[in-house]
Structure 1
Amino acid sequence: MRARLIYNPTSGHETLRENVGDILNILEKAGYEASAFRTTPEEDSAMHEARRVAEEGFDLIIAAGGDGTINEVVNGISPLEKRPEIAIIPAGTTNDFARALKIPRDDVVEAAKVILKKQKLPIDIGQAGDKYFMNIAGGGSMTELTYEVPSAYKSILGYLAYLLKGAELLPKNSPIDMHIEYDDGVFDGKATLFLIGLTNSIGGMEQIAPDSVIGDGTFSLIIVKETNIRDLVHLIALVINGGRHVDNPKVIYTKTKKLSVKANNDSKIMINLDGEYGGDAPMDLVNLHNHLTIYANIDSMPDKSIPENVNIKKESD
């Protein structure tokens, strides 16, 4: 079996570059003939390499870096009919996807060792036009702060950078007039933001979609209706305090397999895909059920986050 490590040398204060040899040794121990590719400043470098090795018939791709690197790998292989399995080694800022899969986020070598456990999970992927996302999509004035945080701040301050920028933007927050269609209904009016998630971890917080089940074929949909600063601060407090925001009258929280969003009047909605700008509405977003298979630290994942019909043996069983 062949495995290709695709790593971003600038992620994680260059810890990836220093540990490539150890990671390749772990892959060899797992039974793979392993090689590595160092991403370049060229646009979509990781995506192009993932597509190339997938078409060559590699069995496994390891995406090592931040959420952006992982998103590129997902976009490289998701359009293909024959897709390799994937693993991730987190070395970025929020590492939402790794957080949900309980993969170590503070030691890249320990993250690689998850592959030795041979525990794999089928996961859903979101499709938005000709782009793909593995964790979150959204729109609204509050989601736009991710575009305004300088990369240097992300590297130094991590998620704190987003919180600081968010606090700065709160007084400027303006709800957007939008039309959203989802499986069980329609929302038409002004909203501060909408989010659809594939895991329970969004922006470093694990309570935004408290009952999310990985790979169950649905998105967790959150629509925050028109709010003022006091409402937003209150909702954030409810998120932190056990995910109780889902019962607030300012919030629509449900599950859906697809979503269509467009702006009303002269409004503009920039769509955020995994923290990056993904185009403007109108846009259709669809859940691709069990589209990829990924290595996960399933022993550490709560049973409620895994579909009941997925029979995966834990080491503790």
Structure 2
Amino acid sequence: MKRARLIYNPTAGREMVSKQLSRLLTKLEQAGYETSCYATPDRWAAAEEARQAAERKFDVVIAAGGDGTIHEVVNGLASYEQPPKLGILPAGTTNDLARALRLPRDIQDACDVITTGRSTSVDVGKFGDRYFINVAAAGRITEVTYEAPSRLKTVMGPLAYYAKAIEKLGTLHKPFPLRLKTAQGEWEAETLLFVVANSVSVGGFERLAPAANLSDGLLDVLVVPKTNMSDLLQLATLAMKGEHVRDSRVVYFQTDQIEVDTPETLKLNLDGEHGGELMGRFEILPHHLEIFCP
């Protein structure tokens, strides 16, 4: 019998997984999986539990929660040459990766995707010793995602991000110096937003990186150079429809690796979580994880 380890965030999505746990476990058992579960007590516990599941040769590891939970589980699995297959039950605030994979929003339906057994191999991004499955980003506006308290997100959902953005409104358009280097050349400018995307859906924008493909072996790089708040809001409106990449105020290209340098101390956002400081090399690991999808 195949074994599945369900790793879930008990506070995600207004405690959605906790409330439906019994039904989820029953569904997986009926599909032929010997299933056990683990509720994450604090940050980074999901990564360690996923690592142990890989060591114990589980066939499937299921991440149930938001993009942060998925990020941790990916970091627990990605260092292995033949990691377990990854299942996703989207129960977070934005669920960017689930959107990109076109997973059902209902976690019971998403569980059916796992029991059906269809999967695809996807790329994984790497920065230093950290991995990311969806996005790496920097800029004052990206700090909103991991500075919003988890309890506030449980109570308010997406409104928690808006509340945090209003609090930081005066600094969101403050630029930083950025220097990029790829095999194709170098680029340098004062910058408001730097994004390295692996999928189309980032920060709730379903077409922020419209050419991105989780299995193409490429990173999609989007840069918004220094501009005023009015232009930034205009670009955000265009981004809702994926039309911003044709605007002259935006830099957009694809590459398999990129070196980033800045003299400023700037926080890096990895899949919505704090990922250290922005400086170093981003690269793509092609077809590195097998994920269940519709």
Residue 110 (structure 1) aligns with: 109
How many residue pairs match? The answer is 292
Q: Per-residue CA shift, 1:171-225, capped at 9, x if unaligned? A: 3221101111234332212010110111111011111111222211011110101
Compute the displacement of 1:16 (Å): 1.0
Residue 256 (structure 1) aligns with: 255
Q: Distance in 2 between matches of 1:239 and 1:273?
A: 20
- Residue correspondence of structure 1 range 225-264 to structure 2 within 5 A: 225-240=225-240, 242-264=241-263
Q: Per-residue CA shift, 1:143-187, capped at 9, x if unaligned? A: 122233232332233233323433553432211011112343322
Q: Distance in 2 between matches of 1:272 and 1:95?
A: 15
- Residue correspondence of structure 1 range 23-172 to structure 2 within 5 A: 23-41=24-42, 43-105=43-105, 107-172=106-171
Q: Per-residue CA shift, 1:220-241, capped at 9, x if unaligned? A: 110101111011011011112x
Would you say the 8 A contact 1:171–1:229 is kept in 2? no
Q: Per-residue CA shift, 1:57-110, capped at 9, x if unaligned? A: 1110011111111111111111112211010101111111111111122x2212
| 1:18 lines up with 2:41 in the alignment | no
Residue 300 (structure 1) aligns with: none
Would you say the 8 A contact 1:221–1:256 is kept in 2? yes
Would you say the 8 A contact 2:221–2:255 is kept in 1? yes
Would you say the 8 A contact 1:96–1:204 is kept in 2? yes
Would you say the 8 A contact 1:170–1:229 is kept in 2? no
Residue 285 (structure 1) aligns with: 282
Residue 266 (structure 2) aligns with: 269
Would you say the 8 A contact 2:139–2:266 is kept in 1? yes
Q: Distance in 2 between matches of 1:117 and 1:135?
A: 24
Q: Distance in 2 between matches of 1:268 and 1:183?
A: 25
What's the RMSD between the two structures over aligned residues? 1.6
Letter in 1 for 2:275: G
Compute the displacement of 1:269 (Å): 2.1
SS of the residue corresponding to residue 5 of structure 2 reads strand
- Residue correspondence of structure 1 range 207-222 to structure 2 within 5 A: 207-222=207-222
Return 5+ residue gaps in structure 2 as ranges: none
Letter in 2 for 1:104: P
SS of the residue corresponding to residue 214 of structure 1 reads coil
Would you say the 8 A contact 2:127–2:282 is kept in 1? yes
SS of the residue corresponding to residue 92 of structure 1 reads coil
Letter in 2 for 1:237: T
Q: Distance in 2 between matches of 1:80 and 1:116?
A: 24
Q: Percent identity?
A: 42
Q: Per-residue CA shift, 1:280-314, capped at 9, x if unaligned? A: 132211111010000012xxxxxxxxxxxxxxxxx
Q: Distance in 2 between matches of 1:65 and 1:7?
A: 6
Would you say the 8 A contact 1:262–1:269 is kept in 2? no
Q: Distance in 1 between matches of 2:133 and 2:47?
A: 14
Compute the displacement of 1:277 (Å): 1.3
Would you say the 8 A contact 2:14–2:155 is kept in 1? no
Q: Distance in 2 between matches of 1:141 and 1:181?
A: 22
Q: Per-residue CA shift, 1:102-135, capped at 9, x if unaligned? A: 1122x22122111133221111111111111110
Would you say the 8 A contact 1:124–1:290 is kept in 2? yes
Q: Distance in 1 between matches of 2:157 and 2:257?
A: 31
SS of the residue corresponding to residue 209 of structure 2 reads coil
Return 5+ residue gaps in structure 1 as ranges: 298-317
